[in-house]
Amino acid sequence: MFKKNSVAMSIVGDNIRALREREGLTQQELADAIHVSRETVNKWESGAIESLRERNVAVLRNRFSLTVDDLRSEHKGLAAQLHGRGMGSTGLAGLGPHAVDSGASISPTRSYVSDILWQDHPEAFAIEMDSSMSRVLPAGCLAFVDPQITPANGAIVLAEIVTEGGSELKVRRLHLGSTKALLSAESYEADVEDIVVDTDQLHVRGTVFWYQPSGELA
């Protein structure tokens, strides 16, 4: 029983601490804003107080426009949002406003996944897929990309193709030769084509290691 409560309070404490970070508040300033003592805020964050009273939850929600999940959830809480443990946000890895495949642009995308996944892949980001790899990555799913994983031949990657007019990003299966690279599509759509480029035109921005179906997105 003690172990269960300790784990639960570490989640609440992390979320309270994340709220202060987000708002740029000290423990005293947060305490003043919601009419509790600094010691109370400190005990929330340390786990010394076992739970938030409903009155305190209501005050925090009204004062900072929060949801119950923001305060009490491990995967949807403020700590997960702020530190990327539960939220994949595309465009955060310096990708810029490039297009991914047939017109689908990289834009902020929100998803909640296991903390363990983000602990193992702290630099990962997510891309909402179109139909270009629909045989393996369904359209509308989030493909999670880790820029730290060196791809094996045959891996699915986020590839940046450099051209005279700039560059574009494609999610494809990589087949690497000595001077040429084949970026193969695996799509149910007949008009999605494979791409062959010189290796010096290709920059692999990361390897796809996980995907989350659209029906599971928050």
Per-residue pLDDT at 127: 83
Q: How far apart are CA 111 and CA 131, in angstroms?
A: 19
Q: What percent of the chain clears pLDDT 70, i.e. is strictly above it?
A: 75
Residues contacting 213, CB < 8 A, separation 6+: 138, 140, 141
Joined together, the tokens standing for residue 196 give 């062959």
46 or 114: which leads in pLDDT: 46
pTM more than 0.85? no
162 or 105: which leads in pLDDT: 162
pLDDT tens figures, 74-133:
777 888 777 654 433 333 232 333 333 333 444 434 444 555 566 677 778 888 888 999
List b or e across 16-45, with b for residues whose CB sees 16 or more CB atoms inside 10 angstroms: bbbbbeeeebebeebbeebebeeebbbbbb
Joined together, the tokens standing for residue 24 give 């740029």
Q: List domains and CATH numbers for the chain.
A: 2-83 (1.10.260.40), 99-216 (2.10.109.10)
Q: How far apart are CA 159 and CA 176, in angstroms?
A: 12
